Chain A
Amino acid sequence: MNKTHNQKAWFFVIPVFVLVAFNAVVPLMTVVNYSFQETFGSNVFAWEGTRWFKEILHSERFHASLGRQFIFTFIILLIQLPLGIAIALTMPKKGWGVPVCLILMSMPLLIPWNVVGAMWNIFALPEIGFLGNTLNSLGFDYNFTQQSGDAWFTTILMDVWHWTSLVVLLSYAGLNSIQPAYYQAAEIDGASRWDIFRYIELPKMKKVLTLAILLRFMDSFMIYTEPFVLTGGGPGNATNFLSLDLVKMALGQFDLGPAAAMSLIYFLIVLLICWVFYSLMMKDEGRK
Chain B
Amino acid sequence: MKKIKWVVPTFYIIFLMLPIYWLLNMSFKSTTEIINVYSLWPQDFTLDNYKTIFTDSTWYMGYVNSIMYTVLNTIISVSAALPAAYAFSRYKFLGDKHLFFWLLTNRMAPPLFLLYLSFSFIHQ
Contact A218 B90 (CB under 8 A): no
Residues of A within 8 A of B83 (CB): 12-13, 15-16
Residues of A within 8 A of B93 (CB): 5-10, 13
- For the complex, give the distance between the alpha carbons of A9 and B38 in Å: 61
Q: Confirm or deny: B18 has a beta carbon within 8 angstroms of a beta carbon on chain A.
A: yes
Q: Known contacts being A263-B110, A267-B110, is A12 close to B92, with CB within 8 Å?
A: no
Distance between B101 CB and nearest chain A CB, rounded to angstroms: 7
Question: Which residue of B23, B99, B107, B112 contacts A246 across the interface (Cβ within 8 Å)?
Answer: B112
Q: Confirm or deny: B50 has a beta carbon within 8 angstroms of a beta carbon on chain A.
A: no
Contact A250 B22 (CB under 8 A): no
Distance between A14 CB and nearest chain B CB, rounded to angstroms: 9
Q: Known contacts being A30-B120, A123-B19, A266-B110, is A16 close to B80, with CB within 8 Å?
A: yes
Contact B116 A31 (CB under 8 A): yes
Contact A3 B109 (CB under 8 A): no
In the complex, residue of chain B having the shortest beta-carbon distance to the beta carbon of A221 = B108
Q: Known contacts being A15-B84, A243-B110, A267-B108, is A250 close to B115, with CB within 8 Å?
A: yes
Query: A1-44: which residues lie under 8 A (CB-CB) from chain B?
Result: 1, 3-10, 12-13, 15-17, 19-20, 23-24, 26-28, 30-31, 34, 42-43
Question: Which residue of B5, B19, B88, B111 contacts A243 across the interface (Cβ within 8 Å)?
Answer: B111
Residues of B within 8 A of A274 (CB): 104-105, 108
Looking at chain A's contact residues, the main secondary structure is: helix
Residues of B within 8 A of A13 (CB): 83-84, 87-88, 93, 99
Residues of A within 8 A of B15 (CB): 161
Q: Known contacts being A15-B79, A104-B17, A127-B38, is A28 close to B5, with CB within 8 Å?
A: no
Contact A218 B107 (CB under 8 A): yes
Residues of A within 8 A of B101 (CB): 275, 278
Contact B108 A4 (CB under 8 A): no
Q: Known contacts being A15-B80, A16-B103, A105-B13, is A129 close to B108, with CB within 8 Å?
A: no
Residues of B within 8 A of A108 (CB): 16, 20
Binds B, one of A59-67, A70-78, A85-93, A232-240: A85-93
Question: Which residue of A130, A214, A263 contacts B18 across the interface (Cβ within 8 Å)?
Answer: A130
Number of interface residues, chain B, beta carbon within 8 A: 59
Contact B104 A16 (CB under 8 A): no
Contact B111 A247 (CB under 8 A): yes
- For the complex, give the distance between the alpha carbons of A15 and B103 in Å: 12
- For the complex, give the distance between the alpha carbons of A8 and B87 in Å: 9
Contact B13 A104 (CB under 8 A): yes
Contact B5 A31 (CB under 8 A): no
In the complex, residue of chain A having the shortest beta-carbon distance to the beta carbon of B115 = A250
Distance between A86 CB and nearest chain B CB, rounded to angstroms: 6
Residues of B within 8 A of A15 (CB): 79-80, 83-84
Contact A28 B113 (CB under 8 A): yes
Residues of B within 8 A of A165 (CB): 16
Residues of A within 8 A of B86 (CB): 12
Residues of A within 8 A of B96 (CB): 9
Residues of B within 8 A of A31 (CB): 112-113, 116
Which 4 residue pairs are nearest across A and B when measured between Cβ atoms? A12-B87, A9-B91, A12-B83, A9-B87
Chain A positions near chain B (C-beta within 8 angstroms): 1, 3-10, 12-13, 15-17, 19-20, 23-24, 26-28, 30-31, 34, 42-43, 86-87, 90-92, 101, 104-105, 107-108, 119-120, 122-123, 127-131, 133, 161, 164-165, 168, 214-215, 218, 222, 224, 242-243, 246-247, 250-251, 256, 259-260, 263, 266-267, 270-271, 274-275, 278, 282
List 6 interface pairs A-B (beta carbons < 8 Å), by A numbering. A9-B92, A24-B109, A27-B116, A42-B123, A247-B111, A270-B110
